[in-house]
Amino acid sequence: MGAWTLDDIPWHRFDPARVDRDLVPIAKAASLVEHNGASYAHHLCLIFADDPEFQETARRWGEEEVQHGRALARWAALADPDFDFDAAFARFRAGFQVNFDSDRSRRGSRSGEMVARCVVEIGTSSYYSALREAAAEPVLQEICRRIAADELRHYRLFYKQLDRCLAREGLGRIGRLRVAISRVAESEDDELAYAYHAANQPDRPYDRRQCSGAYARRALALYRPHHVERCIAMLLKAIGLTPNGRLGLIASSLAWQAMRYRAARLAKAAA
Ligand SMILES: [Fe+2]
Ligand SMILES: [Fe+2]
């Protein structure tokens, strides 16, 4: 179990007047992706079949991700009583399929798998921090505060495991950079777009481009420069580079400009 449960959330403080309607569709989509965490934990246990200590950590991690999904789903149902999480999750599972039964990492090595996991936790910790800061509704703020703290802890536990793996496998900085870039690029793939579709468009055919744009437009609008700076510092650390030097400043500035450019294009397209 995680450090908190759904009973720790002050649901009675939910204030419908303070719900930002643009945040509801992305909270629903996030609830589906998070709730899929148990399947990924199963995959990690297969990859680390000879490491019972890490398997235990991975199972606990998976339970925490599922709880994130439950908390977001409950909030989304308060914000939109028509939201049927079970039906949406069934649509998501039916339409977005990954082979979680494989004992081989798609990243080519255990170290690569841990770099990819670090990238995901960097992304989620910054995303929920940005969502908390953007949200005016007090219950969503509290959920995001707790989730963001969990995601940061998840980053640390995968980073620790990465260190252990590197001692045996010796994946160099270039190899780690390659995995990190490919995982960042995957954030544009089907998972989030399909989750957005499954959560918000039960009566429409899936249009990946439209869903990806609709999700990204709402998500990118949440970020501020300090979120990006933190992301880049954590990313550089996972790759094995100095997190707070000149490289970090340049990479943060470039990433921020790229995000602004994309956000502006998506906003213009939606106008
Ligand atoms: Fe999570
Ligand atoms: Fe996480």
The one-digit pLDDT tens for each residue of the chain (271 residues) are: 458 999 999 999 999 999 999 999 999 999 999 999 988 999 999 999 999 999 999 999 999 999 999 999 999 999 999 999 999 999 999 998 888 888 888 898 999 999 999 999 999 999 999 999 999 999 999 999 999 999 999 999 999 999 999 998 878 899 999 999 888 888 777 899 999 999 999 889 999 999 999 999 999 999 999 999 999 999 999 999 988 889 999 999 999 999 999 999 998 888 7
Q: The tokens of 105 are what?
A: 């990492």
* b/e code 64-83 from CB counts within 10 Å (16+ = b): bbbbbbebbbbbbebbbeeb
User: Ligand 1 centroid vs 271 CA: distance in angstroms?
Assistant: 31
Residue 151 C-alpha to ligand 1 middle, in angstroms? 6
How many C-beta neighbours within 10 Å does residue 49 have?
A: 9
**What's the pTM?**
0.94
User: pLDDT value at position 3?
Assistant: 81
Residue 62 tokens, joined: 């998976």
Answer whether 74's CB lies under 8 Å from 11's CB.
Answer: yes
Residues 176 and 238 sit within 8 Å (Cβ to Cβ): yes
Radius of gyration of the chain (CA): 18
Ligand nearest to the backbone CA of 67: 1
